[in-house]
Structure 1
Amino acid sequence: MTTLVLNGGASTDYAEMLPELAADMVVFTEQPLPSPERYAHYEQVPDCAAVPYAELTALRMASDPVAPVTFDRVLAGHEFDLERAGRLRDRLDIPGQSESSARVFRDKALMKDYAGHAVPVPAHARLATFGDLLDFVAERDYPVVVKPVGQGGSRDVTVLRDEAQLTAFSRLPWRDDLMAEEFVHGDVYHVDAVLAPGFRFVSAGRYYTGCLEVLSGANNGSALLHPREPMARRLAAFLDTLLTVLPAPEVGAYHLEVFHTPDDRLVLCEIASRVGGSRIPQLIRRTWGADPQETWFRLETGLPLRAEPVTVPRAVHGDIALTPRAGRVRAVPTAPPYPWVRDHHTLLRPGERSDGPLDSAAGLCWTIVAGADSDQLMERLHHCESWLAEHVDHGAPEPAR
């Protein structure tokens, strides 16, 4: 039996996570993976998540008249591989998340239509024409968020705050995958979970700044909540309630984002059926002692876990990343000199050029810190941010060519 792997996005060492299966894996990947000779079949495919080559090749392998390959599992952890993985499962009668299930978690308008039966969601509407946007603005007033229903990382999201911004938006090419929703004020929290029969792992965290603020230049990061914090319990209950109305797979990983409003309401931002991105997996590993991606994939393939998450962590962890500005960076900070700093990594070197933040996880450098709870983490992240800001030189923006 053979495991099919679709690996769009970042490099993931499947053979290290699943050594029992590596020799029988068929892998299609966008980024190179370590030691590709460990796999039965390995191809690096440019734009793997966007082009249908992997899907075509896998179906040809499965239907080969001489030596057909029998796939028993499909693994895909990247946002833009999920529907394709579901489609392959449906075609080849493989257990796991179906295409229709993946679409509910990918299409933000459809997701909120489902979710509204169980939890508070922002007012929203799918936009077929610009007239639909005018109707939504007339009904809800400003500010209004306009975004693609299937995008990730806060890419291509626009906040319209007045008529002038609406006019400016009307000068951009219209696209047929847009939705509008009301702007929700408040802090943004995230819940990261792996759920399976007989297994439950749930971790909650608070974003350092809102995802849309990062695209405007604010620094980004996250602070995990200790499970004893009341908000951690509220967020876990919110996830449980939400999943009662979503077509969740039997074994699944989830990254949920929730608004906490000034009047103490929890409102759905969105949920994905995958592990959280950016540094969230690193924070979970340091806090809970288990890797969420490995946990998900080993449960998905029926393998025993090599590391069980601890019940109560000794400390929780957070991270802060300096958001790059457009231009050529001149100086990049080293690790802040505090005893509770646990890791520091530089993404841009002096002299390298940046186009500014292209998504909500953009970073020039990032730092991980430890603390007793989310309040202490936020305080320490503020200290780190101030120190990093004193030791960075973003450089002057380069003139347009």
Structure 2
Amino acid sequence: MANVAVINYGPLNDYAAMLPELADRLHVFSHHELADTGRFARYEYVPDCEFVPYAELRIRQLAKEERFSHLITDNEYDLERAARIRADLDIPGQSPVSALSFRDKVVMKQVAQRAVATPRFARLATITDLTDFIEENGYPVVVKPVKQGGSRDIVVLRDEDELVAFSRRHWRDDLMAEEYVEGDIYHVDALLADGYRFVASSRYLRNCLGVLSGQNNGSLQLHPQDKLAKRLEEFLDSVLDVFDTPATGAYHLEVFHTLDDELLLCEIASRVGGSRIPALTRATYGLDLLTTWLRLSCGLPVDPAPSTPPNTLHGSVAIVPPGRPVGAPPQPPFAWVRHYQVNDKLPPGATAQNSTSHLCFAIVEGADTLQVEQRLFEVEDWLLANLREAPQREGRRP
């Protein structure tokens, strides 16, 4: 088998364990330093790898000596680069057209609205485009970069004062406007390949943007036989029918469920869902999303997709950094908390920078979605009540 190029982001990814058959054929370029790299054909830690073109240059140079059979990446921000390399080196996988449609949120919605409903939206070249959009659609309005993720750099404008305040910011050339949608937000996480299909639906505990104003975030799974779960799966299929999709794909779809029971596309990404989604999927279905996606992408055997309805469901809640020095609570005293983890890399006094920012998080188990939700709120209340306030430093004596 020919070589496999890897552009890695995840600091804990163990490619030797995920792809043992290919370990000595892997050429890995990594944004973070990895452990257990001795079996690789090549390994380079590349600081700021997702921002510098070194990995792309080296893969192209190496391909002149021996061809690559596959090129894989775990990082959404590398999808377009990976697709470009594949097209130029005749490597199978996602194409540049496909990658762009899943990365640029304006292109994404232009494609998707051929099959499903979307919020009203517009690309912004100048502030006039924004004011025209507001005049036509009213407040509130969401302004966000077209290729950003994790709720980074998103602003919700609710009135003229907030518009004026926004106008004092440095203007960016990558912005879009979108109508603000009231209602719940669901996510659908899927792995699709020839002979393989896994689809699971979940509901975000709160609006993803709430973390930027101090709300804790998380999600809770729906049972696959739930009526809404089936609607969401059908919605996913409708969306993907109008996209250029690779033979093997991982998808993270976010859907607005409006107050009048309409489903609207929020966003769809062609990669595994982030945050606690992989952990929740392992807990309920015994499926490792990333490993399975990468193995399918490289033509390696995988276990059959889960087909038996789960006996229990799981959810997670993450406590947002409160913006003051605090210590994380101890392990919650509930038997149904299946995992608890403290973010030991969070600097003191940190505030939320994106939807993944957290002081700590807990994963809970329940018999159904309702019980999971109740337990999430119960453990959230306990964690907030048990934050450890950091002692105040005494000032210097005169």
Could you tell me the TM-score, scaled by structure 1's length?
A: 0.95
> Structure 1: any 5+ residue segments left out of the alignment?
none
Q: Secondary structure at the match of 1:137?
A: helix
Find the counterpart in structure 2 of residue 14 from structure 1.
Answer: 15
Deviation at 1:191, TM superposition (A): 0.2
Structure 1 residues 4 and 46: alpha-carbon distance in aligned structure 2, compared to 1, 3 A threshold: same
1:386 equivalent to 2:381? Answer: yes
Q: Secondary structure at the match of 1:120?
A: coil
**Range with bigger deviation, 257-266 or 387-396:** 387-396
Deviation at 1:345, TM superposition (A): 0.6
The one of 338, 346, 366 aligned to 2:361 = 366
Find the counterpart in structure 1 of residue 120 from structure 2.
Answer: 123
Deviation at 1:327, TM superposition (A): 2.9
Cα contact 1:289–1:307 (8 A) shared by 2: no
Q: What amino acid is aligned across from residue 20 of structure 2 in structure 1?
A: P
Q: Secondary structure at the match of 1:201?
A: strand
Q: Secondary structure at the match of 1:284?
A: helix
Cα contact 1:332–1:348 (8 A) shared by 2: no
Structure 1 residues 266 and 60: alpha-carbon distance in aligned structure 2, compared to 1, 3 A threshold: same
User: How many residues end up aligned between the 2 structures?
Assistant: 392
Cα contact 2:198–2:305 (8 A) shared by 1: no
Cα contact 1:8–1:80 (8 A) shared by 2: no
Q: What amino acid is aligned across from residue 302 of structure 1 in structure 2?
A: G
**Range with bigger deviation, 303-312 or 15-24:** 303-312
Find the counterpart in structure 1 of residue 31 from structure 2.
Answer: 30
- Summarize the alignment of residues 1-400 of structure 1 with structure 2, pairs less than 5 Å apart: 1-63=2-64, 68-306=65-303, 308-329=305-326, 331-348=327-344, 352-393=347-388
Q: What amino acid is aligned across from residue 134 of structure 2 in structure 1?
A: V
Q: What amino acid is aligned across from residue 291 of structure 1 in structure 2?
A: D
Q: What amino acid is aligned across from residue 75 of structure 2 in structure 1?
A: H
Structure 2 distance, partners of 1:396, 1:182, is 44
Structure 2 distance, partners of 1:394, 1:99, is 50
Deviation at 1:325, TM superposition (A): 2.0
Identity %: 53
Deviation at 1:306, TM superposition (A): 4.4
CA RMSD of aligned residues (A): 1.6
Deviation at 1:308, TM superposition (A): 4.1
Task: Render the CA deviation track for 1:7-48: whole Å, top value 9, x for unaligned.
Answer: 124431111111000110000001122211121000011111
Q: What amino acid is aligned across from residue 364 of structure 1 in structure 2?
A: L
Structure 1 distance, partners of 2:23, 2:69, is 14
Deviation at 1:208, TM superposition (A): 0.9
**Range with bigger deviation, 226-235 or 165-174:** 226-235
Cα contact 1:190–1:257 (8 A) shared by 2: yes
Structure 1 distance, partners of 2:135, 2:10, is 39
Deviation at 1:195, TM superposition (A): 0.2
Deviation at 1:335, TM superposition (A): 2.0
Cα contact 1:325–1:394 (8 A) shared by 2: no
Cα contact 1:255–1:273 (8 A) shared by 2: yes
Deviation at 1:314, TM superposition (A): 1.6
Deviation at 1:339, TM superposition (A): 1.7
Deviation at 1:389, TM superposition (A): 0.6
Task: Render the CA deviation track for 1:132-177: whole Å, top value 9, x for unaligned.
Answer: 0011011001000000000000000000000000000000000100
Structure 2 distance, partners of 1:219, 1:69, is 49
Cα contact 1:221–1:320 (8 A) shared by 2: yes
Q: What amino acid is aligned across from residue 368 of structure 2 in structure 1?
A: D
Structure 1 distance, partners of 2:12, 2:173, is 31
Could you tell me the TM-score, scaled by structure 2's length?
A: 0.96
Structure 1 residues 128 and 195: alpha-carbon distance in aligned structure 2, compared to 1, 3 A threshold: same
Structure 1 residues 397 and 109: alpha-carbon distance in aligned structure 2, compared to 1, 3 A threshold: farther
Structure 1 residues 265 and 28: alpha-carbon distance in aligned structure 2, compared to 1, 3 A threshold: same
Structure 1 distance, partners of 2:290, 2:354, is 22
Deviation at 1:305, TM superposition (A): 0.6
Structure 1 residues 362 and 397: alpha-carbon distance in aligned structure 2, compared to 1, 3 A threshold: farther
Q: What amino acid is aligned across from residue 332 of structure 1 in structure 2?
A: A
Cα contact 2:7–2:72 (8 A) shared by 1: yes
> Structure 2: any 5+ residue segments left out of the alignment?
394-398
Structure 1 distance, partners of 2:156, 2:301, is 45
Task: Render the CA deviation track for 1:262-294: whole Å, top value 9, x for unaligned.
Answer: 111111100000000001000001111110111
Moved over 4 A (4+): 394-398
Q: Secondary structure at the match of 1:110?
A: helix
**Range with bigger deviation, 146-155 or 240-249:** 240-249
Cα contact 2:251–2:269 (8 A) shared by 1: yes
Cα contact 1:290–1:307 (8 A) shared by 2: no
Structure 2 distance, partners of 1:226, 1:18, is 31
Q: What amino acid is aligned across from residue 364 of structure 2 in structure 1?
A: V
Deviation at 1:234, TM superposition (A): 0.8
